[in-house]
Chain A
Amino acid sequence: MRQTRIIARLDVKGTNLIKGVHLEGLRIIGKPHDHAKLYYEQGADELIYMDCVASLYGRNSLGDIVQQTAQDVFIPMTVGGGVRSVDDAMRLLRCGADKVAVNTAAVADPRLITEIARRFGSQCMVLSVEAKRIGPGRWEAFTDNGREATGLDVIEWAKRGAALGAGEILLTSVDQEGTRKGFDVALVGAVTAEVSVPVIASGGMGTPAHMEEVVRHGQADAVAMADILHYKRATMADIRGAALQAGIPVRTFDRG
């Protein structure tokens, strides 16, 4: 069994790290770089920076934060929110991002997925999908933090995105996000069953045990978490320990 990646997700508004519920009602947590560095030192396998309001205002202001983080955080960084073009992607990569996550602009023009994958490799192109449950075994893709419906079926969209060149799917359950009630395991399972690229489960991690559920029953390749770390409800070490105890391989991390 492959090592499951434990990913710290940092949602950013302006210069602040924030956290919401169902991607809304945002609360300020602190400075993004401080938290990024802390999670890196605790043994996070990767970081995701997401500019929550970027597509709303048609901008992406994460460059400075990414640049600062790249000074002393030496794990892969995915950056998203407001990436609308190959040039936007290039700018973030130049700041130190390793991958870009694209949602709104990919929905508007799926060719962007292929363009970014061709230019930088598909390992660089993460398709961000915000999923809302609309019926038993059915989810619809949303954009703009779960505000705008797209009419796209999540499973079909994820398959199409992978076929167009997305190297990973960041799958966020809007229903579970910020609730601490666990991942939407059925959603993750439905997508991992249909796409061959790695799927990052995001939204709902409230206890270390939730990771086991979504890996064992949803076949998630990686789990993203925010609330549980930001509010210090568990440390990376707790989460890593719980995973190992449950028989889920994760990165060994012994160094202080």
Chain B
Amino acid sequence: MADVAVIDYGVGNLLSVSRALLHCGATVEVTDDPARILNARRVVLPGVGAFAYGMDALQARRLVDVVHEVSRRGTPLLGICLGMQMLMDTSAEFGETAGLGLITGRVVPVPERATDGEPQKIPHIGWNGLAPASTPAAWSGTLLDGIAPGESVYFVHSFMAQPEDDAHRLADCLYGGVAVSAVIRNLNVMGCQFHPEKSGEVGLRVLKNFLRP
């Protein structure tokens, strides 16, 4: 039994996530086998690209129910980038598409204008600092344990998750003054919009926190 099953549904750069987890000392299995996913101590749902394509790819491999079961069993589940967005109820990318519904809320486009009305570049690509979400920072014991507000991580995305319940929002980043959900969680279900596997030492810290017993 591997420490972490990385779900292989044909989307994204699974190699980088796996290597980063290995670097953090975990045994890793990249798999689309439901039994192996359900047996793993932890599960990562990676992903890059379009929401509907990602959901279709999960459906095609009959993995939607598997992810639900992972969540129901209380196994730590980490969605990364598109994988985090798919945790939500629905996405507005190319019409309204249903997601996994593990965290209440929608996925909407990153606003094309900053809060001062100036146009800003989409996708949001690059390093950006983590900020506590609306509630005061309570990062200890979470994915962000040991990380200070303002430390930067690497984002590449055009859409963003908007959890309805503020309690599910752990950290944001500000893009043109707009608060973008960077880390979300609902009990054992966690998501980060940025790529921890591409975010240097801070990103590795996030993964180590995910691996912690």
Contacts and interface: CB of A to CB of B under 8 A. Distances in A.
Contacts of A252: 129, 150-152
Given A5-B127, A74-B198, A251-B152, A94 B121 contact: no
Contacts of A43: 200
A151 B150 CA distance: 46
Interface in A73-128: 74-76, 93-96, 98, 120-124
A76 B198 contact: yes
A192 to B, nearest CB: 10
B187 interface: no
Interface in B107-131: 119-121, 123, 125-129
| Secondary structure dominating the interface of B | mixed
Nearest to B122: A196
Interface residues of A, number: 34
Given A121-B49, A252-B129, A75 B198 contact: yes
B19 interface: yes
Contacts of B197: 74
Contacts of B210: none
Nearest to A199: B121
Contacts of B203: 74
A98 B23 CA distance: 18
A98 B152 contact: no
Interface in B123-177: 123, 125-129, 150-152, 154, 156
Nearest to B14: A94
A255 B126 CA distance: 19
B126 A93 contact: no
Interface of B: 13, 15-16, 19-20, 23, 48-50, 119-121, 123, 125-129, 150-152, 154, 156, 195, 197-204
Interface of A: 2-3, 5, 40, 43, 45, 70-72, 74-76, 93-96, 98, 120-124, 167-168, 196-198, 221-222, 251-255
What 10 pairs across the A-B complex have the smallest Cβ distances?
A251-B127, A251-B152, A255-B201, A123-B156, A76-B198, A3-B127, A121-B49, A5-B126, A96-B15, A123-B123
